Structure 1
Amino acid sequence: QMATETRTHGDYTVGWICASSIERRAAMAMLDELHEPLPTPEYDRNIYTLGSIGKHNVVIACPPMGTAAPYIISMTNIFRAINFSLLVGVGSGIPPDVRLGDVVVGTLEGHNPKEMMLNPLVEAENSVHVETWAATPPQPLLEALKKIKTEYELSGSRIPEYLERLKRDSPALASRYLKSDSLQDLLFDADYGHVTPDFANLSFIPREENDCRFCDKTMTVKRKPREMRVHYGLIASADREIKSAPLRDRLCRNFGGKVLCIDMDIARIKILFPSHYPCLVVRGICDYADSHKNMEWRDHAAIMAAAYAKDLLHEQDLQILEWLTPVDYGPRHRDFLRRWQPETGLWLLDSAEYKTWLSTKKQTLFCPGDIGSGKTILTSAVINDVKTRFQINPVVGIAYIYCDHRHKETQQIDELIASILKQLTQKLFSLPDCIRQMYEKHKYGQTRPSLNEILGVLHTIIGEYSRVFIIVDALDECPTSSGCRQTFLKELSNLQNQFGVNCFATSRLDPDIIAQFRTNSISLEIRENAKDVQLYVKRYMEQLPAFTELDQWQQETMLVKVLEHVDKRYDLA
């Protein structure tokens, strides 16, 4: 969308460097807002696109002739407020760890910069000058890097959400940049060269059609399919293109086997900027630096690098969300989910009550149960099911709370509402102005927003979604002091009435809480389930070496005897 606010050159603090029009279009696709162009000197031939990602005003710079170093000088002379630059584009991956479509972020990872000259493998070729180098990003960007690495390890990236939104908002662009079934990740044996029939050398054969259709697919390395990954480590920059697997492998060995990616841009930049220049290199992997290199993966690799760069810039917005509330129910949820046995709880997930709650707006499903009946583990299964169904849908919001009497200080009414606000905000494409304004209002005076302020912003955020699910476990452990539980239930009811929010809640068999859900709610009591108990005990015993050594009849006999004596309360099932 196009912003209406007028800006000056001094408002732009982030440079985004592209080396080609393909990379520039991918960068533009990741902008939250597009800004009107600003005047530039006649001598500057660079192509600039202005926009914003989260709180950052970004200058996307692309050179007219595909060179890297000269335009950076022009950009920093015109946009003098730039604090750091992201060098975002495509590069060649070093197998076996790195695959096509992966992203590599350039960091020295404890290694010193190094350069060397690689002699050619054949006399007709020139020597290749190669070096590893990584400038030091500013401290806020380093902190964002650390956080995003941890976040990806624990809960995955937001990159699929960005790509899903691109598919929805720009179908034509998505059809070009997103991965299709026609893209095959083929890694050929290092000593097997690309096969090019004679007619493919004719001038009427487009370069992009010079693919591996004539190469022997039996010469590929067999690998198990996997999702894309983000790698952090050395990126080597060469002074010419490398299209030789033996030369690539020799380069990697000479750098101690630590190089993940090869590109041609970093060395050009280093000529004009010393190592202290604040920048970060992000590369999407489009080939393996071998003779099979072609254009097939270039578009997709460019959008993957751009999506990671966007996520990195958004990571700095999380500092504001941490100010809102540091409470994170994610680790607790993942712990409960690990303890859930995947085929248990189907009586709930397959029930008519649950399906009605899931498919219809403005519904409450209340599931009371006795102590030890498995309410919390079933809640984690419900959260997992809802997230699996709607996680990549940008117009469906999901928030959850695990009440615990041991953490009363973090479960006061303002913290509970702030946690719902935080979770719903995290899924949005960018940090909304209402959140930022509330933060700016309170940060200098080190004050906290009132409950009414938080609720007002929450109403605005919920308005961004077509559907919202709020899931609360163990309402009986929600504090009653200062009317916390009563106020919490009242506000959930208000959200449902105003916005059609769907609520799911569990509780012990507390008469006061049950009375709150007696009307306008679907009720389904959680009770001991014999099939769940049997499945849990069986899975647990199958992990015991002594049990696995028994034959089938002995195992079944022992299982029957154990089930006769086991308490059917299944906290872990």
Structure 2
Amino acid sequence: MGDHLSGPKCRGLFVKRNRLDGSTELIAAQAFLDEDHGELDSQPANDNNNYTLSRIGKHNVVIVVLPHWEYGLVNAANVARDMIGSFPNLRVGLMVGIGGGAPAKHDIRLGDVVVRYAGYGHGGVYQYDYGKTIQNKAFVPTGFLNKPPTFIMAAAAALNATYRMKGHQLKKAIGSALDRIPRLQHEFRQPNASTDRLYKPKILHTARDDEDCLAACGDDESKLTIRRARSADDDDPVIHYGLVASANQLMKDASRQ
């Protein structure tokens, strides 16, 4: 375990939940590990995290997930703080999780990947509940998070260029992971494209969260935004680069997104 604490090529993977149970994201991350390094020999008394130590390719990796029923910026910051304290030589930290959105000009579909990308006037993450509300005026955002380190932005740009030229191998990698762990096939395999229904913003999903969307909202084309089927020339899943919204407030209202 000493290699994880002092190795120069150590990477940190922080799995943040957007639901109240982060086990789904944690399982997905662990399915792609090349090697299991066991547990820490010792852990500081004030570190409340539970770590997965492993290797992906030539990089040592540390994975941590938020505690059950805890989410939001403060809890995420506490987990990251303890992680950095126990692994001071971490070079890269990645926050991953399941996100939601209301597609507009970008053709984003279930299973696609969204990568935070800094651009003009923003650092890549927009905290939509950070700002001020003035009397008789709309909410005014007052700041944004800083952009990632330069070497991260350079690596993301290089990956973007490579994928645009040669495509990516995500579908193949997912298939290989599911072949290694057959019991995950039912829950983690890509669902049929027919289940990816994009309802118009005015259509309200009034049923319980655990109720099937088709049963609750139906498949009437007047309620749906019709999209073309992706062809064999399209990447599947598609990797999108741009601004990511994040905040303590869970957004489940399409008319506000």
TM > 0.5: yes
Contact 1:93 1:100 in 2 (8 A): no
CA drift of 1:31 comes to 1.1
The CA distance in 1 between the partners of 2:251 and 2:64, in whole Å, is 26
- Unpaired segments ≥5 residues, structure 2: 17-21, 134-138, 231-235
Correspondence for 2:12:
15
Shift of the 228–91 alpha-carbon distance from structure 1 to 2, 3 Å rule, reads same
Q: 2:64 aligns with which of 61, 64, 81?
A: 61
The CA distance in 2 between the partners of 1:44 and 1:62, in whole Å, is 13
- 1:133 partnered with 2:130: no
Correspondence for 1:41:
44
Q: Which amino acid aligns with 1:103?
A: V
- 1:86 partnered with 2:94: yes
Q: Which amino acid aligns with 1:48?
A: Y
Correspondence for 1:95:
103
CA drift of 1:182 comes to 8.2
Q: Which amino acid aligns with 2:82?
A: S
Q: Which amino acid aligns with 1:82?
A: L
Q: Which amino acid aligns with 1:216?
A: G
Q: 1:181 aligns with which of 192, 205, 209?
A: 192
Shift of the 174–132 alpha-carbon distance from structure 1 to 2, 3 Å rule, reads farther
- 1:244 partnered with 2:253: yes
Q: How does 1:340-419 map to 2 (within 5 A)?
A: none
CA drift of 1:74 comes to 0.6
The CA distance in 1 between the partners of 2:172 and 2:43, in whole Å, is 35
Shift of the 217–183 alpha-carbon distance from structure 1 to 2, 3 Å rule, reads closer
CA drift of 1:183 comes to 6.8
Correspondence for 1:231:
240
Say which SS state the counterpart of residue 238 (structure 1) adopts: coil
The CA distance in 2 between the partners of 1:82 and 1:195, in whole Å, is 44
Q: Which amino acid aligns with 2:63?
A: I
Q: Which amino acid aligns with 2:96?
A: V
Correspondence for 2:174:
163
CA drift of 1:119 comes to 9.5
Correspondence for 2:29:
27
Compare CA radii of gyration and give the structure with the larger one: 1
Correspondence for 2:136:
none
Shift of the 58–130 alpha-carbon distance from structure 1 to 2, 3 Å rule, reads farther
Which of the two has greater helix per residue?
1
- 1:147 partnered with 2:158: yes
The CA distance in 2 between the partners of 1:192 and 1:130, in whole Å, is 31
The CA distance in 2 between the partners of 1:134 and 1:212, in whole Å, is 40
Contact 2:35 2:55 in 1 (8 A): yes
Q: How does 1:100-499 map to 2 (within 5 A)?
A: 100-113=110-123, 132-139=144-151, 141-181=152-192, 184-196=195-207, 207-218=209-220, 219-226=223-230, 227-248=236-257
Shift of the 115–93 alpha-carbon distance from structure 1 to 2, 3 Å rule, reads closer
Deviates more, 1:73-82 or 1:15-24: 15-24
Shift of the 172–56 alpha-carbon distance from structure 1 to 2, 3 Å rule, reads same
Q: Which amino acid aligns with 1:191?
A: K
Shift of the 130–107 alpha-carbon distance from structure 1 to 2, 3 Å rule, reads farther
The CA distance in 1 between the partners of 2:201 and 2:28, in whole Å, is 31
Say which SS state the counterpart of residue 198 (structure 2) adopts: coil
Shift of the 145–188 alpha-carbon distance from structure 1 to 2, 3 Å rule, reads same
Say which SS state the counterpart of residue 93 (structure 1) adopts: coil
- 1:76 partnered with 2:79: no
Q: What's the TM-score, normalizing by structure 2?
A: 0.78
CA drift of 1:128 comes to 10
Q: Percent same amino acid at aligned positions?
A: 29
The CA distance in 2 between the partners of 1:131 and 1:168, in whole Å, is 45
Shift of the 10–154 alpha-carbon distance from structure 1 to 2, 3 Å rule, reads same
The CA distance in 2 between the partners of 1:241 and 1:174, in whole Å, is 29
Shift of the 161–182 alpha-carbon distance from structure 1 to 2, 3 Å rule, reads closer
Q: What's the TM-score, normalizing by structure 1?
A: 0.37
Deviates more, 1:109-118 or 1:56-65: 109-118
The CA distance in 1 between the partners of 2:110 and 2:144, in whole Å, is 21
Shift of the 182–172 alpha-carbon distance from structure 1 to 2, 3 Å rule, reads farther
The CA distance in 2 between the partners of 1:69 and 1:104, in whole Å, is 21
The CA distance in 2 between the partners of 1:131 and 1:54, in whole Å, is 37
Contact 1:130 1:236 in 2 (8 A): no
CA drift of 1:110 comes to 2.5
Shift of the 81–94 alpha-carbon distance from structure 1 to 2, 3 Å rule, reads same
Q: Which amino acid aligns with 2:99?
A: G
CA drift of 1:76 comes to 0.5
The CA distance in 2 between the partners of 1:131 and 1:215, in whole Å, is 37
Contact 2:39 2:52 in 1 (8 A): yes
Q: Which amino acid aligns with 1:150?
A: A
Contact 1:132 1:237 in 2 (8 A): no
User: What is the root-mean-square deviation of aligned Cα atoms in Å?
Assistant: 2.8
Q: Which amino acid aligns with 2:76?
A: A
Shift of the 15–101 alpha-carbon distance from structure 1 to 2, 3 Å rule, reads same
CA drift of 1:109 comes to 2.1
Shift of the 137–175 alpha-carbon distance from structure 1 to 2, 3 Å rule, reads farther
- 1:50 partnered with 2:53: yes
Contact 1:15 1:59 in 2 (8 A): yes
The CA distance in 2 between the partners of 1:71 and 1:115, in whole Å, is 19
CA drift of 1:57 comes to 0.5
Which digits, 9 at most, give the CA deviation of each residue in 1:32-54, with x for residues without a partner? 11112112123322121011111
The CA distance in 2 between the partners of 1:116 and 1:181, in whole Å, is 33
Q: Which amino acid aligns with 2:25?
A: E
The CA distance in 2 between the partners of 1:17 and 1:156, in whole Å, is 26
CA drift of 1:59 comes to 0.6
Say which SS state the counterpart of residue 87 (structure 1) adopts: strand
CA drift of 1:94 comes to 3.4
Say which SS state the counterpart of residue 153 (structure 1) adopts: helix
Q: Which amino acid aligns with 2:122?
A: N
Shift of the 131–62 alpha-carbon distance from structure 1 to 2, 3 Å rule, reads farther
